[in-house]
Amino acid sequence: MHIPDGYLGPATCGFFYVVMMPIWTMASKIVKKTLNAKQVPLLAIGAAFSFVIMMFNVPIPGGTTGHAVGGVLIAILLGPWAACIAITVALVVQALLFGDGGITAIGANCFNMAFVLPFTGYFLYKVISYNSAVDSNRRVIAAGIAAYIALNIAAGLTGFEFGIQPIFHKMASGEALYCPYGLNVALPAMLSEHLLVFGWVEAIVTALVVKYLQKQDLNLLKEGRA
Amino acid sequence: MGALSFLKESIFADEYAARKGFLQSLDPRIKTATFFLFIILILFIKDIFTLLCLYVFCLFLTKRSDISLGFFLKRTWIFIPLFSLFIAIPALFSVFTPGEALAGFNLMGVKLVITYQGVFSAALFVIRVITSVSFVVLLSITTRHFELLRVLRIFKVPQVFVMTTGMCYRYIYLFVEIVENTYVAIKSRTGTKIHYKKGQHIVAWNIAYLWMRSYRLNEEVYSAMLSRGYRGDPVTFNEFRAGIKDWFWLLFSAAVFVVLFYFNLQIKN
């Protein structure tokens, strides 16, 4: 779901930087206010954790593998604002040091993966698990459903961002300047692979991690520890 | 865990940044700023030939920085550009990009037509992606990573992000080590192919275990920060020095940016 440089035109890249600026500012203000000094390293640890999650190859039927993004999991563990900073940092490190995800597309990537994904997922998790005990099965199911829906919303947005490129950036004779596929191709392509494969990977991993944490260290799932 | 090994090799190898090449000798602040200029320029260019010139210029800089072209081409083409090349192929055909027919053939009874517009769109797309990726990778391998992350301060990135990024970089290495060791331990104990469901449980257990270890690490890290004088606001040293060569490089890059940007504006959509 990482958008590389060259897929989006300057207008889209600029637009998402502008959209993300107030979100990043608000995230740093809220996190500074809510996180006590002792928990400062937690943000960096959360960012590294979010980076490494994407490196896990998850086995899927047919002998192949996929990978989870972990955005909803980070939001459940750290809260959505801290998750926004942690995932942004992970995406910046990936773009700058690994060349995975473009520098000009950082705004769009962060909007999809550091804002929409954790916030939608966290909200759904809270709604579905409303008033349930921290060690209840409802939490595990809520985490899985939230991860599946949030990842597909983020993937749909990514497809939408690809798909609008030929509308905004096209030569008069019909040549596309950036992503060459319109909404009729980009949107179904992104959505189908996430609805059928990657959404399930995300849901299974998120639910199982919550289940393991319930068994091993319940405190890590309690509200307000980060 | 091939991805983990690749990550370890490619990210943590400072070998190229330590060489005495042209880009390694530049002030990291100026180098990063000028590379960002090039990346923005690449985003705006509408002409394939200009993009190709920038790509050749990037390869020239690679050679001048004592980096083997074979290594660089392998490092830059694998993953994103190859993937982009693969997804650009359907755009060649009139089904996706209608326009002036260039060539046509029958494939299992289906008539496929390659259009001029399709070839142009696909070529521009792939060349733009490979040129951008090449500039980013070149910046990344010719600059020590902790310097590159510290440079973010000149772009007025809030301190909380800069500090978190710097610390995050160190933890990635540690986490990769932990995950790799865990996988070796699991592999040496199972010794056989496991069912995918079992595999998913192992991955989830690994992630949960990693988070538990990370969370416990937090307290130790904070104590280490306190013992090094952390009092709530991070202090970072700035030992970057810009010389005449850096200013010339900045002038040259700015001139290239202005000239190419101006010519690009003359191209009508």
Residues in A closer than 8 angstroms to B125, CB to CB, are 6, 176, 178-180
Chain A interface includes B1 (CB < 8 A): yes
- CA A51 to each of CA A74, A83, A112, B110, B213: distance values in angstroms, whole numbers, following the listed order: 11, 12, 16, 44, 16
Say which residue the tokens 């700058």 belong to. Answer: A96
Position A112 in a domain: yes
Q: Is B191 exposed, middle or buried (0-12, 13-18, 19+ CB in 10 A)?
A: exposed
**In a mutagenesis test of the B interface, which of A13, A25, A40, A65 is the best target, namely the one with the most B β-carbons within 10 Å?**
A40
Which chain B residue has its CA at the smallest distance from A205's CA?
Answer: B204
Minimal C-alpha gap between B183 and chain A (Å) = 11
Position A2 in a domain: no
Contact A47 B165 (CB under 8 A): yes
Count other C-beta atoms under 10 Å from residue B111's C-beta: 9
At residue B110 the predicted structure's pLDDT band, cuts being 50, 70 and 90, is: confident
User: If contacts are CB pairs under 8 Å, which of residues 16-75 in chain B contact chain A?
Assistant: 36, 39-40, 42-44, 46
Contact B196 A60 (CB under 8 A): yes
| Beta-carbon pairs below 8 A across chains A and B | 250
Minimal C-alpha gap between B29 and chain A (Å) = 14
Mean pLDDT value across residues A59-68: 60
Minimal C-alpha gap between A115 and chain B (Å) = 16
B260 or B265, greater pLDDT:
B260
Q: What is the pLDDT of residues B17-29, one digit of tens each?
A: 888 889 998 988 8
Does position A224 have pLDDT exceeding 60, yes or no?
Answer: no
**In a mutagenesis test of the B interface, which of A93, A206, A211 is the best target, namely the one with the most B β-carbons within 10 Å?**
A93
Position A226 in a domain: no
Whether A15 contacts A120, CB under 8 Å: no
Position A117 in a domain: yes
Mean pLDDT of chain B: 82
Position A205 in a domain: yes
At residue B233 the predicted structure's pLDDT band, cuts being 50, 70 and 90, is: low
Position A3 in a domain: no
Q: Helix or strand or coil: residue A225? A: coil
Contact A96 B149 (CB under 8 A): yes
Residues of the domain holding A30: 10-221
Say which residue the tokens 């800069």 belong to. Answer: B162
Does position A199 have pLDDT exceeding 80, yes or no?
Answer: yes
Count other C-beta atoms under 10 Å from residue A62's C-beta: 8
Position A22 in a domain: yes
Supply the pLDDT for residue B31. Answer: 92
Q: What is the pLDDT of residues A176-197, one digit of tens each?
A: 888 888 898 889 988 888 898 8
Q: Which ipTM value was assigned to this complex?
A: 0.84
Contact B79 A73 (CB under 8 A): no
Contact B36 A103 (CB under 8 A): yes
Position A186 in a domain: yes
At residue A226 the predicted structure's pLDDT band, cuts being 50, 70 and 90, is: very low
Say which residue the tokens 């010794």 belong to. Answer: B191
Q: Percentage of chain A with pLDDT > 70?
A: 90
Mean pLDDT value across residues B150-167: 76
Nearest CB among A9, A39, A44 relative to B171 is that of A44
Q: What is the pLDDT of residues A106-149, one digit of tens each?
A: 999 999 999 999 999 999 999 999 888 888 999 999 999 999 99
Q: How many domains does chain A have?
A: 1
Q: φ and ψ at B232, to 5 degrees?
A: 110, -35
Q: What is the DSSP string of B184-227?
A: HHHHHHH-S---HHHHHHHHHHHHHHHHHHHHHHHHHHHHHHHH
Residues in A closer than 8 angstroms to B44, CB to CB, are 10
Does position A96 have pLDDT exceeding 90, yes or no?
Answer: no
Q: Of B95, B112, A153, whose CA–CA distance to B103 is shortest?
A: B112
Which chain B residue has its CA at the smallest distance from A172's CA?
Answer: B269
Mean pLDDT value across residues A78-94: 89
Q: What is the pLDDT of residues B47-84, one digit of tens each?
A: 899 999 999 999 999 999 999 999 899 888 887 778 88
Does position B2 have pLDDT exceeding 60, yes or no?
Answer: no
Q: What is the pLDDT of residues A151-166, one digit of tens each?
A: 999 999 999 999 999 8
Which chain B residue has its CA at the smallest distance from A97's CA?
Answer: B140
At residue B35 the predicted structure's pLDDT band, cuts being 50, 70 and 90, is: very high
Q: Which residues of A121-147 are buried (b: 16+ CB within 10 A; e: fewer)?
A: bbebbeebbeeeeeeeeebbbbbbbbb
Nearest CB among A39, A51, A67 relative to B172 is that of A51
- CA B214 to each of CA A77, A94, A186: distance values in angstroms, whole numbers, following the listed order: 12, 20, 38
Supply the pLDDT for residue A100. Answer: 75
Nearest CB among B79, B96, B205 relative to A185 is that of B96
**In a mutagenesis test of the B interface, which of A26, A96, A110, A214 is the best target, namely the one with the most B β-carbons within 10 Å?**
A96
Supply the pLDDT for residue A19. Answer: 96
**In a mutagenesis test of the A interface, which of B40, B134, B135, B172 is the best target, namely the one with the most A β-carbons within 10 Å?**
B172
Domain containing residue A192: CATH number: 1.10.1760.20
At residue B198 the predicted structure's pLDDT band, cuts being 50, 70 and 90, is: confident
Residues in A closer than 8 angstroms to B40, CB to CB, are 10, 104
